[in-house]
Structure 1
């Protein structure tokens, strides 16, 4: 499960290179010294095309833009932004902060290493030679994973794209990129956060919110959490994450997290016949103890790394809120509420989509919890 606000912080790390003034629109860099210019030319020549070992990945628009150069004797270190697109999948180039190391010899500068810039997330190919498997609507890239595992992920992603297409009628690409690292630590390195942040999760989604399609959404699978799921659980996780990809353009900072996460779970459970008691066991136990929530889950209730039971209750309550809207007002009204909530304050979105207000929806949701979970 993947809180949108928390994912946004991860995406900003992965898709931006804020410390580099030459990349931040602050004006043209000062003219480079002759030695710096030689380093820049060496990086440009070296990066003219993707490495041969990445030949199985449909890469295009591959380029390194050097922002600064630091020399230390016969060594030089260039801070650069790598930009690239996965052909047929990315709406715009993705960006990655890199540090390119060079050595000087009798003929000039030559590149000896390329790695993530300090503090920046890694790319999958930093962890080994990636393998690529194409599905009908998916591209799965993995390191240290068997061909069978990657093919199974492609099949699951294809089914998820079909399920999400039936739940979300809005415009989206109807294709997805899945990254399959070898370990939890490798997953965390791709996302630029500690491994404990993702322990127990099946997958997360990277990208960005803000009223437009993200240039490079990725579903990143946690090999440990995903392996421990049943077949049904894997289907739910992948469909949930692909829903975030599909709804990205309609999601903004205005969108309450109970709606973004609840809608993703609603799309994942849609058509499965899962009952509220089956899909919301933590919340059911709380309700039976007399602990009826006083309000819809707040954004902070979905935080990574907190109380897992509390987070589970937040997700379950969000799912049941969206399930209620779809059952009482209709699926089209739920979709309209989602679209409006990304552009307008929630009270206005609720009035236009459902003809109610936050207090009215909360009361209806609480009554549903009493009836369904007691």
Structure 2
């Protein structure tokens, strides 16, 4: 209503002006399409990103800083080169694609730049994504002013300096500095044996990225502001693709982790590392099984009572009764009102399956579903249950824990 009132007030003002003045009213012409950078500007920008590509490949901070449009950009480009050295960036390339809009009066504009990179020793294949770059042209010289933002993902190592911690099995990069990197390295190292205890064939290569804030996590993932504000971590392909061979990293929300106790932080990290170990970011596994299995791995050796580990779903069942069906994509939406209860209910479904057929059977169920086999067929083979049988047993368990 406030917006409507403001519009009506503006409309009334326009009508009054028309009545009270004798001057003829001439409508303002609608703006035309934004001008594109001149060909020379686009060519100069393409040259600048090629030069940055070489500076990063050669680990030459001075050459990178020489491409900057101002002191802040110089610090950024120097940090990018330092990050590349610490992270052992390989297969790095930059290619100017197209401007987002025309240059301002100051000769500045932004453009999409096709970017590829790989963290050697951790990523088997390169990531490939378009990243937003800012440029300015002054006296015919094009320089780089910014990296990141807009509708594209902003890779953390291209957004500013990061602290790096490396072991043979883990690589942590944190925008918040060395103490943050050390804390998350400990969590990563604790998660690896937890996951390996269930997934013995996994060969750990865990990359964990820690932005400075929840807002920076949204920016890294090109998400709407606030999307991940209540999410502690997410496991995703680095470039946002759904390709099976795309590199997959865990990205943490340090603000949410700060609110977790020691046990909670370890559980969340082990959950996300399970997703990484099983290829969960691109898996066709039904979400109840994908998320419930990750919680099973994370919680199997945690000595906490059900009133803690299933507290939210207990409250929901006491209020509304058990759900009629296992949770799907709508229930797992990050903006959903009962997300914690949904995760707990999925975990209890996997708990019921372990009690019925054992952990090895649950692992095989997951692997067969990951290969695209219908879950109903695998349930029958491994547990002697139909999907309806599982739902009935699961609903019984929910009533039991809520009683």
Q: 1:78 to 1:238 in 2, by over 3 A?
A: same
Structure 1 residue corresponding to 2:259, chosen from 228, 245, 258: 228
Q: 1:347 to 1:163 in 2, by over 3 A?
A: same
Report if aligned partners of 1:261, 1:318 keep a CA contact under 8 Å in 2. yes
Q: Say if 2:185 is the partner of 1:154.
A: yes
**What TM-score, normalized by structure 2, do the two folds share?**
0.75
Higher alpha-carbon Rg: 2
Task: Report deviation, 1:347.
Answer: 1.6
In the alignment, structure 1 segments of 5+ residues that lack a partner are: 1-32
Match in the other structure for 1:351? 380
Matches within 5 A, 1:288-299: 288-289=318-319, 291-299=321-329
Deviations 1:291-320 (A, max 9, x none): 12222222211111121xx22221111001
Task: Report deviation, 1:192.
Answer: 1.4
Match in the other structure for 2:217? 187
CA distance in 2 between counterparts of 1:281 and 1:231 reads 18
Task: Report deviation, 1:236.
Answer: 0.4
Matches within 5 A, 1:219-298: 219-248=250-279, 252-253=283-284, 255-289=285-319, 291-298=321-328
Report if aligned partners of 1:132, 1:139 keep a CA contact under 8 Å in 2. yes
Q: 1:211 to 1:264 in 2, by over 3 A?
A: farther
Structure 2 residue corresponding to 1:141, chosen from 137, 148, 173: 173
SS of the residue corresponding to residue 363 of structure 2 reads helix
Task: Report deviation, 1:274.
Answer: 3.1
CA distance in 1 between counterparts of 2:256 and 2:149 reads 28
Report if aligned partners of 2:136, 2:145 keep a CA contact under 8 Å in 1. no
CA distance in 1 between counterparts of 2:223 and 2:382 reads 38
Match in the other structure for 2:402? 373
Structure 1 residue corresponding to 2:230, chosen from 192, 200, 205: 200
Structure 1 residue corresponding to 2:164, chosen from 115, 132, 147: 132
Q: Say if 2:395 is the partner of 1:363.
A: no
In the alignment, structure 2 segments of 5+ residues that lack a partner are: 1-38, 57-79
Deviations 1:209-232 (A, max 9, x none): 8683432x2211112110010000
Higher relative contact order (CA 8 A, sep 6+): 1
SS of the residue corresponding to residue 308 of structure 2 reads helix
Count, aligned residues: 336
Task: Report deviation, 1:79.
Answer: 2.8
Q: 1:99 to 1:273 in 2, by over 3 A?
A: closer
Q: Which sits farther off after the overlay, 60-69 or 232-241? A: 60-69
Match in the other structure for 2:125? 92
Match in the other structure for 1:43? 49
Aligned-residue Cα RMSD (Å) equals 2.7
Report if aligned partners of 1:121, 1:190 keep a CA contact under 8 Å in 2. yes
**What TM-score, normalized by structure 1, do the two folds share?**
0.80
Q: Which sits farther off after the overlay, 71-80 or 290-299? A: 71-80
Report if aligned partners of 1:142, 1:181 keep a CA contact under 8 Å in 2. yes
SS of the residue corresponding to residue 289 of structure 2 reads helix
Q: 1:92 to 1:109 in 2, by over 3 A?
A: farther
Task: Report deviation, 1:273.
Answer: 2.9
